[in-house]
Amino acid sequence: MPIKLNNFTDGIIKEYKLTRNDIEGILKKAADLIRTRVDYKFILILLFLKRISDK
């Protein structure tokens, strides 16, 4: 079942229907963005601090 979204631009309402494939594509792009732009050193520091606090 498609999801209807309204996009307000210049006073004109445009209706878009998102399909499952559209949503999957958006999620894959978001995952790629996270994979390529995340500073892994920061994540490792957070995991290290979490490990220390668990002891």
Considering the entire predicted model, what is its pTM? 0.44
- Flag whether pLDDT at 1 surpasses 60: no
What is the band of 2 on the pLDDT scale with cuts at 50, 70, 90? low
Higher model confidence: residue 8 or residue 54? 54
H helices of the chain, in order, are 20-37, 40-54
pLDDT in tens, 13-25: 567 788 899 999 9
* Residue spans per domain, the chain: 3-54
pLDDT in tens, 24-37: 999 999 888 878 87
Name which of 31, 7, 29, 28 is nearest 17 in CA terms.
7
